[in-house]
Amino acid sequence: MGRLLMKPTTTPKTYRVKSFGCQMNVYDGERMGELLEAQGITPAPEGEDADLVVLNTCHIREKATEKVYSDIGRLVKSGEEAGKKPMIAVAGCVAQAEGEEIMARAPAVGMVVGPQAYHRLGDMVKDAAAGRRGTDTDMPEDAKFAALPARRKVAATAFLTVQEGCDKFCTYCVVPYTRGAEISRPYSDLLREAEKLVEAGARELTLLGQNVNAWSGENDKGRAIGLDGLIRALAALPDLHRIRYTTSHPNDMTEGLIAAHGEVEKLMPYLHLPVQSGSDRVLKAMNRSHTAESYLKLLDRFRAVRPDIALSGDFIVGFPGETEAEFEETLALVDEVKYAAAFSFKYSPRPGTPAASMDGQIAPQVMDERLQRLQAALNRHQLAFNEASVGKTCTVLIERKGKHPGQWLGKSPWLQSVFFEGDCAMGDLVEVELVQAGPNSLAGQLVTKVPA
């Protein structure tokens, strides 16, 4: 932990957390907000500058660091224009990877706090207000969660981080370095947090982890359980209606979790299972330790217990050495799986990862062209999946108001966005007939409200 002196600033009254990247960062951002509120710092009203801005950064792909510096510059400039000096905190994975450098390069930053140390944010804010800048990028095991305040009022859907870190060391990925080794949060803590979230209004929980299906623990009877056991325990909460989980790794998939998809009604028919590439040579070079075939067989087992399951994945194009023929194997896999949704990225060399120094780095224009072709295929399948849903009546959980008066936006069981009109409220579960499909959403007609 480094300490440097700066000019004293006043204690902030308002805050804003700007989260980039994955859902785990969104969860961390919410928890940082709760922590600041416990200290009497309130969310800045929409459209107003905040006294304290937390940049909750992501390091997974290129330009992340440059983005942080440009955000800092923008905050300083708008502060100057308003005659104010905002307190700036840099959190998340860029903070973990490049904290010292940020402190040296950006004097406007009052504190740098890594993803495993943000329970200390409140103290660091007090220090910064007293003129002491601070860096905390320690990785103590699981200290953070115990030190965070209780959950506050939440929306109809909420995230619950159950597992953190990664021991897989895919050769392109920075996560094992920024988030540390795999840990599972204890069962009893998770049940308690889930109960609080449900009491506060959550009707759907998404369990989060870098490798969420690697979660393991002991239930209240001292029995060793996996993620399926945790899901079954959460499903017993009467006011919790839906459970999802993300992101899984093919190698951590268990018989029990597959079976749960056929047996636990509250577990939604959606699986996000990244594959990255359809080429076995590329998968080996990525250190993924699964093949295209073993991945496809795994999906078949999910389809056997839950035939309507919506499948989603992550893809990287232009990994070092990827040939045109190998890229076409990815396209073939996409056509075979027919994903309902997907995330696709150009390979981005991450400092310190093995792939960054591999031979055969791919030219940017080749990556652009491959990404376009891959996304065209993925979009085609997504539209086809949505079109095949037209005519179905399904339960939609309302998440927010739509753009037009009387319009609502919610999610189908298959995580599709559904727009419809009706006399409803946020958090309602309603029966909607799906009448029209677009690539990213569906239009529906309200049939009836589901009794709570």
Residue 345 touches which member of ligand SF4, ligand SAM, none, C-beta under 5-8 Å by kind: ligand SAM
- 166 in a labelled binding site: yes
Residue 348 touches which member of ligand SAM, ligand SF4, none, C-beta under 5-8 Å by kind: ligand SAM
10 Å Cβ neighbour count for 158?
A: 22
Span 240-299, contacts to ligand SF4 by CB under 6 A: 249
Among 22, 24, 88, 170, binds ligand SF4 (CB under 6 A): 170
Binding segment for ligand SF4 (CB under 6 A), chosen from 24-32, 172-180, 356-364, 373-381, is: 172-180
Is 102 exposed, middle or buried (CB count within 10 Å of its CB: 0-12, 13-18, 19+)?
buried
- 58 in a labelled binding site: yes
Question: What's the N-to-C CA distance of the chain in angstroms?
Answer: 50
Span 4-63, contacts to ligand SF4 by CB under 6 A: none
How far from the centroid of its chain's Cα atoms is residue 421's Cα?
Answer: 29
- 173 in a labelled binding site: yes
Could you tell me the two tokens for 273?
């299972």
Residue 169 touches which member of ligand SAM, ligand SF4, none, C-beta under 5-8 Å by kind: ligand SF4
Contact indicator for 11, 126 with CB cutoff of 8 Å: yes
In 164-244, which ranges are continuous DSSP H helix?
175-178, 187-199, 227-235
Among 6, 67, 149, 176, binds ligand SF4 (CB under 6 A): 176
Instruction: Tell me the C-alpha distance between 68 and 57, whole Å.
Output: 7
- Does 166 help bind ligand SF4 (rule: CB under 6 A)? yes
How many residues line the site for ligand SF4 (CB under 6 A)?
10
Nearest to 294 by CA among 308, 284, 306, 305: 284
Task: Sort strands 429-437 and 441-449 into parallel, antiparallel or unpaired.
Answer: antiparallel
* Helix 227-235, helix 255-263: angle, nearest 10: 20
Among 173, 298, 299, 333, binds ligand SF4 (CB under 6 A): 173
User: In Å, what is the CA distance from 93 to each residue of 117, 180, 207, 300, 304?
Assistant: 11, 11, 20, 35, 38
- 394 in a labelled binding site: no
CB of 392 to ligand SF4, least distance (A): 33
Could you tell me the two tokens for 164?
């953190």
Residue 229 touches which member of ligand SAM, ligand SF4, none, C-beta under 5-8 Å by kind: none
10 Å Cβ neighbour count for 297?
A: 12
Contacts of 369 (CB under 8 A, 6+ apart): none
Residues near ligand SAM (CB under 6 A): 22, 60-61, 166, 172-173, 175, 210-211, 247, 249, 274, 276, 314, 316, 345, 347-348, 350
Span 178-217, contacts to ligand SF4 by CB under 6 A: 210-211
Contact indicator for 313, 269 with CB cutoff of 8 Å: no
- Does 168 help bind ligand SF4 (rule: CB under 6 A)? yes
Contacts of 310 (CB under 8 A, 6+ apart): 269, 270, 271, 340, 341, 385, 414, 415, 416
Among 75, 103, 175, 225, binds ligand SF4 (CB under 6 A): 175
CB of 168 to ligand SF4, least distance (A): 4
Contact indicator for 214, 249 with CB cutoff of 8 Å: yes
CB of 250 to ligand SAM, least distance (A): 9
- 170 in a labelled binding site: yes
The smaller minimum CB distance to ligand SAM, of residues 125 and 257, is found at: 257
Q: Annotated binding site, which residues?
A: 22, 58, 93, 166, 170, 173
Contacts with ligand SF4 by CB under 6 A lie at 166, 168-170, 173, 175-176, 210-211, 249
Q: Annotated binding site for [4Fe-4S] cluster, which residues?
A: 22, 58, 93, 166, 170, 173
